[in-house]
């Protein structure tokens, strides 16, 4: 896919602020600081489109990036950030659920987990949610540059088991630092969009 145009279409905290449901969407979910915004920038080949930060809790709204006027990549706010107040984390749940439950043209939610660690309870809960809404199927293991190839294989198996992935579900290790894994992810996104067009 050639990214000719990538622009921020909307920043939303509630449904009224979402863009019109006039094109397919693919969203990215995961713990705060796992690397969602960094990965979106690399995929779209725009260094600063999505704001990133070394401290967690950077993205706190649902950010819609419109690509080639054909589909949207959606950056969901991260979870599991302890310093966020209780009311804000409750609000986070509402924000995510409103989006997941009600979005007609949401094709898939790509979940990111840190490949170095066991998935957290919230990671497991997030994937359960995705299963519930039929939006599961692919998990990205981020920061793959931080461990060895052997560990990548070993940890991927742990992630697969802990999240309860089916045999056909994909785990793609990526590193935004070394720019690895993104071709495979882009090919997956391409396929999703093609299948959707045919339907």
Question: Which residues of the chain form contacts with Mg ion (CB under 5 A)?
Answer: 36-37, 58-59
Q: Could you tell me the smallest distance in angstroms from the CB atom of residue 95 to ligand GTP?
A: 13
Q: Could you tell me the smallest distance in angstroms from the CB atom of residue 118 to Mg ion?
A: 22
Q: Is the dihedral of CA 177, 182, 183, 184 positive or negative?
A: positive
Among 155, 156, 175, 182, binds ligand GTP (CB under 6 A): 175
Element at 24 (helix H, strand E): strand 24-30
Q: Residue 53 binds which entry of ligand GTP, Mg ion, none, with Cβ cut-offs from 5 to 8 Å by kind?
A: ligand GTP
Q: Could you tell me the smallest distance in angstroms from the CB atom of residue 27 to ligand GTP?
A: 13
Based on its alpha-carbon atoms, the radius of gyration of the chain, rounded to whole angstroms, reads 16
Residue 53 in contact with ligand GTP, rule: CB under 6 A: yes
Strand 62-67 and strand 24-30: pairing?
Answer: unpaired
Nearest to 139 by CA among 154, 126, 151, 121: 126
b/e code 147-178 from CB counts within 10 Å (16+ = b): beeeebeebbeebbebbebeeeeebbbbbbee
> Rounded to an integer, what distance in angstroms lies between the CA atom of residue 133 and that of residue 97?
10
> Rounded to an integer, what distance in angstroms lies between the CA atom of residue 80 and that of residue 9?
26
Window 116 to 145, contacts with ligand GTP (CB under 6 A):
142-143, 145
Which among 46-54, 63-71, 84-92, 99-107 is the span making contact with ligand GTP, rule CB under 6 A? 46-54
Q: Residue 111 binds which entry of Mg ion, ligand GTP, none, with Cβ cut-offs from 5 to 8 Å by kind?
A: none
Nearest to 29 by CA among 139, 172, 167, 166: 139
Residue 13 in contact with ligand GTP, rule: CB under 6 A: no
Which among 35-43, 94-102, 153-161, 191-199 is the span making contact with ligand GTP, rule CB under 6 A? 35-43
Nearest to 159 by CA among 150, 170, 149: 170
> Rounded to an integer, what distance in angstroms lies between the CA atom of residue 80 and that of residue 92?
10
Which among 2-10, 28-36, 155-163, 184-192 is the span making contact with ligand GTP, rule CB under 6 A? 28-36
Residue 182 in contact with ligand GTP, rule: CB under 6 A: no
Among 9, 58, 100, 141, binds ligand GTP (CB under 6 A): 58
| Interface residues toward ligand GTP, by CB under 6 A | 30, 32-38, 52-54, 56-59, 78, 142-143, 145-146, 175-177
């Amino acid at each position: 896919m050639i990214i000719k145009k990538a622009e921020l279409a909307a920043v939303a905290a509630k449904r009224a602020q979402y863009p019109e449901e006039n094109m397919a969407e693919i969203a990215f979910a995961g713990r705060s600081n796992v690397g969602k915004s960094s990965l979106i920038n690399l995929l779209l080949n725009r260094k600063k489109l999505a704001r990133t930060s070394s401290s967690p809790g950077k993205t706190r709204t649902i950010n819609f990036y419109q690509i080639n006027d054909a589909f949207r990549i959606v950056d969901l706010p991260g979870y599991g950030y302890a310093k966020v107040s209780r009311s804000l984390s409750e609000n986070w749940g509402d924000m995510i659920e409103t989006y997941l439950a009600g979005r007609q043209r949401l094709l898939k939610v790509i979940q990111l987990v840190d490949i170095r660690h066991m998935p957290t309870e919230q990671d497991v809960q997030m994937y359960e949610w995705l299963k519930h809404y039929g939006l599961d199927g692919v998990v990205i293991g981020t920061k793959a540059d931080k461990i060895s190839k052997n560990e990548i294989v070993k940890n991927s198996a742990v992630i697969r088991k802990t999240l309860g992935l089916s045999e056909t579900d994909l785990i793609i290790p990526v590193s935004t630092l070394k720019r690895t894994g993104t071709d495979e992810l882009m090919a997956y996104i391409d396929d999703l969009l093609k299948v959707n067009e045919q339907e």
